[in-house]
A and B are shown apart, each in its own frame.
Chain A
Amino acid sequence: MACQAHLGEVQARWPDFAATHAVVLGVAPSPLEVLRAYLTTTSWSFEIVCDPERIAYRRLSLARARWRDYLRPKVLFGYLKILFHGGRVKRPSGQEDLHQLGGDFLFDRSLRLRQAWRSRDPIDRPSMDELLNALQRVADNNG
């Protein structure tokens, strides 16, 4: 759910992202059939791909959440906020790891990692302004 909210925020600022001329890719740790089913009901301005073996997740050092992470006030409040704004709670596919954490990774034109935001808990994501400012900085440096 928090992931969908994050994608929704990117979509809402899509004109700003498009103006940076960056490639934006959503990556799901899901089997291909789950991705295909998802894309029959959802559409974004950017591509969603999958990494069912979670190779990129491991290479980029993304952690898994612990049960107690969900009980932190910040996380509970974050989920309530998403629900308040119309988000829905859906059970992850049985083929997905409920505890996998995500992250946002910015690569320059040489495909070197310039900035990483690794989620520390299930709702921890950078703001859109933070992402857009970082994209602009990399573009300005002729990344």
Chain B
Amino acid sequence: MSAKEENWADLEFLRADGSTLRLAEFANRTVLLILLRHLA
């Protein structure tokens, strides 16, 4: 399956409070992910 065909709802990240954010939370919204090189 190509990256464009894949469903990305299962992508997970950590919020600053330690909770998990799943991309699925934003179903029905357009999402722009900005992946950074580092925080410095």
Identify the A interface with B (CB < 8 A): 1-4, 6-7, 10, 17, 20-30, 32, 34-36, 38-39, 47-52, 55-57, 59-62, 90-93, 96-98, 100-114, 116, 119, 122, 131, 135, 138-139, 143
Q: How far is the CA of A20 from the CA of B18 in the complex (A)?
A: 29
Interface residues on chain B, size class: 20 to 34
CB-CB < 8 A to B40: which residues of A?
Answer: 1, 4, 90-93, 96
Q: Are A98 and B38 in contact (CB under 8 A)?
A: yes
CB-CB < 8 A to B34: which residues of A?
Answer: 6-7, 10, 24-27, 102, 104
Give the secondary structure class of B's interface: loop
CB-CB < 8 A to B16: which residues of A?
Answer: 32, 35-36, 39, 48-49
Identify the B interface with A (CB < 8 A): 3-9, 11-16, 18, 21, 23-24, 26-40
Q: How far is the CB of A71 from chain B (nearest CB, A)?
A: 17
The contact of B3 among A60, A92, A101, A138, by CB within 8 Å, is A60
Give the secondary structure class of A's interface: mixed
How many residue pairs bridge A and B at CB < 8 Å?
160
